[in-house]
Structure 1
Amino acid sequence: MTGGVIVLGAGPAGRALAHRLLAAAAPVTVVDLNPERVWKSTFACWTDELPGWLADSAFAARLDRVGVAGTALEEVDRGYTVLDTPGLQRSLTLDGAEVVADRVVGIDGARVHLKSGRVLDGDVVVDCRGALPHPAPRQTAYGIVVDAATAAPVLEGHEAMLMDWRGGIVDRRRLPSFLYVVPLGHNEYLLEETCLAGMPALDLDELKRRLATRLGGLPSDIRRVEYVNFPLTGSSPQPWRESTFCFGAAGGFKNPTTGYSVANSLMSVDRVVGALAAGRDPIAEMWPAGVRAVHNLRLRGLSALLRLSPTQTIAFFEAFFAMPVEAQRSYLSRRDDLTGVMAAMTRVIRAVDMRTRVTVARGAMSTPEWAGDVSGTPPLHL
């Protein structure tokens, strides 16, 4: 690679890509309207999803297992990591890059037009600006940060609670929500009422009300509040057809049934760097046929999830977390494991009652507009 890479966006995906390109001695230009903005979201993931090059300062908590609860409390015996958001941002240094604070108004091949009138020329452009506004199912959440003593009663002796449906509002006319509780370090915990997926999703006022109901009133010692509201799909349902390579949440690296994208981007970044360094097409490198099929299957999974009633949703996730961890890992974490993803989906569907199975099948066979063309997706054996 003789010229430079223009990275659009300085969020986790863009900053990680620029950081690793710089480590590979590649010339990099980063464009972001506010490149020094401080990240405020909480990022977490399964520990085995993370690359080995992350600095220790990027971690807030590393847990051996997490609790999950549908009708009863169980544990998932798989490591879970909560990232230290400021530490992660600081660790992804951009020393040596040209950082441009401006707004992108157009992309023409490897040329980027900025609002200021400046035009940047590079060898390749990578769009990491996140999922730009578009019609799609969304995930929403309302969270409060409290001390360990306040969090202890809801944790029931566990280090973290990934998904607790108990005590939530079960109303066939409304979307369900669950409680998510994780340590943030420094004696702080995040308690978050989460709407996993909805179109439309539950609004933040409703989630705040539900969290207060669940806790018997909001505590008086809330340290700060966190809000979540993002689309569960990228701007394009088929990012491999875009003329500009999109990376991170912008480019389909988000699991559409969980909303997790940061770890996937961090784990994939060195492969993207390798492709760029070798002059290979990063779209072809990151989106071979098997990966496209997995992506489409997960879009079908999201379509099915949106059709479930609250009680069916809880039963669905009970069946999911009853599977062996390896089957869970295939569906949640592996972009290229088509056989494993199909087997996991089929296994869950066969474990639920017939009414839920039919609902899932209808959702999985539908093709909502936000999912694009999934006609080439392998069929599930229901």
Structure 2
Amino acid sequence: MSTRALKDALVLGSGPGALSIAAALAIENLDVEILSEQSPEEPWPFTYGIWGEEVDELGLSHLLEHRWVNTISYFGEGDKDPNSKKNEITKHNRDYGLFDKNKLQAYWLEQCNNAEIEWHKGSAVNLETNQLISTVKTSNGKELNARVVIDATGYKPVFIKSPNQGPVAVQTCYGIVGEFSAPPVEKGQFVLMDYRCDHLNPEERKEAPTFLYAMDMGNGKFFLEETSLGLFPPVSLDELKRRLEKRLETRGLEIKSLDHEEHGSYLPMNMPIPYLTQPVLGFGGSAGMVHPASGYMVGSLLRRAPKVAKALSLAMKDPKASSASLAKKGWQTLWPSELRRKQAIYKFGLEKLMRFEENLLRGFFIEFFSLPNKQWYGFLTNTLSLKELISAMWKMFRKSPWTIKQGLMNMHGRELYLLFKALLVNNK
């Protein structure tokens, strides 16, 4: 065994999940170090959105790069005539923000640097847990010792083990930032979902539905992203690019200049919650923290990291606490039974939506966003209690037309299993 000083926690990874939990642990005055293949200062490639109220409650609105008051969606069929009722707007009456990802990264890095967290370059290749100590062997031949190891290496974690619950639905997207021959959205406008499909022929409409996520970035620049909410097998990036180009062509829009092409990400939407008794703790994507209903995670990282760090700090006051017991305490805090039940309900909803045809999916979202503002917002941010979540879902079911009720009641796959999970949650 190495003679290095024993750290309280070793965090694996350098993305949002890793930095958020490392910073939270540092605030608790724990002795932390980071192991990652890339420097924690390496720029992040993706964009991160969040609702205005959500970031305001966290006191972090200063980390936003853009904020929109005019937030809308389109769930009609669409028509080339802009005055057609098929282009009716759903107004969300809520602010939406886009993080300045460099500021968000710097926010967590500053907390880590103030605590003088040591960073090691390399990857973890082996983990040994021996009562009070966990030892990670690195690709560089080092041995790093800590009371608890936190694997925050993303959707393909190094050490985290999870049950096999079948295919994982994947959200895919293809986006561009640039100038166009005419504004693709109104000045100062954010479009959460544009499901209009008049640019597709009847055969294409039978295929997996996709929507446009779009925003005015100011100074004549716009961000447009064709997105598949979640599907297995996933919609390919080539198909998303083709659909976005066809959408623009139908609306008579040409790209004048292209500043950035975002080939998007393959975001697992319904990953299983890992085994909660394993002697290594997960956080972020590795811990299944992506919201199955929206694909969002940053708000959850910001809310849940301090709770997990506080629980670990209290547990570590016992010098005889084993690595396995510390990890278990972290898992219990990260995934209490209510959150696990809610996660199963969200996965049930995604399972249903993956099977909806284009017209049924548009109808579903019309009903969903006609719920009271607080209910649909709480659903998408995962801030409703279990009781409130069930109430919102029941209210929507009651007021929905029969076609949507039927779509929600028909069981074709894992729906019954997921409902069972919502009712009976275990700790494994």
TM-score, with structure 2 as normaliser: 0.79
**Following the alignment from structure 2 to structure 1, what is the Cα–Cα distance between the partners of residues 377 and 276?**
24
For structure 1, the residue ranges without an aligned partner over 5 or more in a row are none
**Following the alignment from structure 1 to structure 2, what is the Cα–Cα distance between the partners of residues 113 and 334?**
37
1:3 Cα offset (Å): 4.3
Stretch deviating more after TM superposition (135-144 or 214-223): 214-223
Q: Residue 156 of structure 2 corresponds to which residue in structure 1?
A: 132
Contact 2:178/2:256 (CA < 8 Å) preserved in 1?
no
**Which secondary structure does the structure 2 equivalent of 1:220 belong to?**
strand
Q: 1:212 aligns with which of 245, 256, 260?
A: 245
**Following the alignment from structure 1 to structure 2, what is the Cα–Cα distance between the partners of residues 127 and 151?**
46
Q: Give yes or no for the alignment of 1:52 onto 2:58.
A: yes
Q: Give yes or no for the alignment of 1:26 onto 2:30.
A: yes
Distance 1:223 1:287, change over 3 A: same
Q: Give yes or no for the alignment of 1:292 onto 2:340.
A: yes
Q: Residue 113 of structure 1 corresponds to which residue in structure 2?
A: 137
**Following the alignment from structure 1 to structure 2, what is the Cα–Cα distance between the partners of residues 19 and 209?**
41
Letter in 2 for 1:215: L
Stretch deviating more after TM superposition (126-135 or 193-202): 126-135
Letter in 2 for 1:328: W
Q: Give yes or no for the alignment of 1:162 onto 2:192.
A: yes
Which residues in structure 2 correspond to 1:2-21 (within 5 Å)?
3-21=7-25
Which residues in structure 2 correspond to 1:1-382 (within 5 Å)?
3-35=7-39, 36-50=41-55, 52=58, 54=60, 56=62, 58-71=63-76, 72-93=88-109, 94-95=112-113, 96-109=116-129, 110-132=134-156, 135-147=167-179, 150=180, 153-157=183-187, 159-167=189-197, 169=200, 171-184=204-217, 188-216=221-249, 218-233=254-269, 236-238=272-274, 240=276, 242-279=278-315, 281-334=329-382, 337-363=385-411, 366-367=413-414, 375-378=420-423
1:141 Cα offset (Å): 0.8
Contact 1:69/1:163 (CA < 8 Å) preserved in 2?
yes
**Which secondary structure does the structure 1 equivalent of 2:184 belong to?**
helix
Contact 1:63/1:81 (CA < 8 Å) preserved in 2?
yes
1:334 Cα offset (Å): 2.4
CA deviation vs aligned residue, 1:281-329 (integer Å, no higher than 9, x gap)? 1211122211110011011111111111111111111111111111112
Contact 1:43/1:262 (CA < 8 Å) preserved in 2?
yes
Q: Percent identity?
A: 26
Stretch deviating more after TM superposition (160-169 or 135-144): 160-169
State which structure, 1 or 2, has the greater radius of gyration over its C-alpha atoms.
Answer: 2
1:273 Cα offset (Å): 1.6
**Following the alignment from structure 1 to structure 2, what is the Cα–Cα distance between the partners of residues 69 and 311?**
13
RMSD: 2.7
CA deviation vs aligned residue, 1:122-148 (integer Å, no higher than 9, x gap)? 11111211111894110111100024x
Moved over 6 A (4+): none
How many pairs align? 372
**Following the alignment from structure 2 to structure 1, what is the Cα–Cα distance between the partners of residues 9 and 20?**
13
1:183 Cα offset (Å): 4.5
Contact 1:47/1:81 (CA < 8 Å) preserved in 2?
yes
**Which secondary structure does the structure 2 equivalent of 1:260 belong to?**
coil
